[in-house]
Amino acid sequence: MRRYHLSKKKIKEIKNKLALDIWIDGPVEMVEDDFKIVLINGIPSFFEKDGVYYPTVILLLNTNFEKNYVIVDMGAVKHVLNGANIFAAGIVDADRTIGPGDCTIIRDEKYKKPLAVGIAKMSGDEMISSKKGVAVESIHHYGDKIMAQL
């Protein structure tokens, strides 16, 4: 595992490749092992996938980011926390501005806490109206190997 501080130039490059417009200020480090993980103030804040930096669930739990959300019913929570993709049948609400390919934050219905991060396979409107098919591909969930790397 390799861990090092990032230059202002590299931080700017990362900010230009964020999947969501979310950032916190503080000292920035990179951890490289199986994944590239950006630490801000020592908090695992972003991970790199296919050249894009996605927020971690840990970062989302520490911020009040209210866009690009998908809310799943409580019956889906266990599956989401095991890394399952999110099916339209389990979605009770979604940000209607989401489009296919957008980064999404999967939240639970009761507490509205972030559980996972994914990539939309359909629009927010389709997620709400459709009752079948994969709505979101899960790419990171609370407690997965991205978090275990640290």
149 falls within a domain: no
Q: Which pLDDT value is given to residue 142?
A: 93
Burial class (CB in 10 A: 0-12, 13-18, 19+), 54: buried
pLDDT reading at 136 higher than 90: yes
pLDDT reading at 148 higher than 80: no
Q: Would you tell me how many other CB atoms lie within 10 Å of the CB of residue 43?
A: 15
Predicted confidence (pLDDT) per residue in 57-73, tens digit: 999 999 989 999 999 99
pLDDT reading at 149 higher than 90: no
Q: Which pLDDT value is given to residue 34?
A: 86
Structural domain of 34: 2-61
Q: How many residues does the chain have?
A: 150
86 falls within a domain: yes
Say if residue 74 is in the same domain as residue 41: no
Predicted confidence (pLDDT) per residue in 33-60, tens digit: 888 999 999 999 999 999 999 999 999 9
Say if residue 33 is in the same domain as residue 8: yes
150 falls within a domain: no
Please say which residue of 61, 87, 102 terminates a domain.
Answer: 61
pLDDT reading at 75 higher than 80: yes
Please say which residue of 39, 61, 83 terminates a domain.
Answer: 61
pLDDT reading at 150 higher than 60: no
The number of folded domains in the chain is: 2
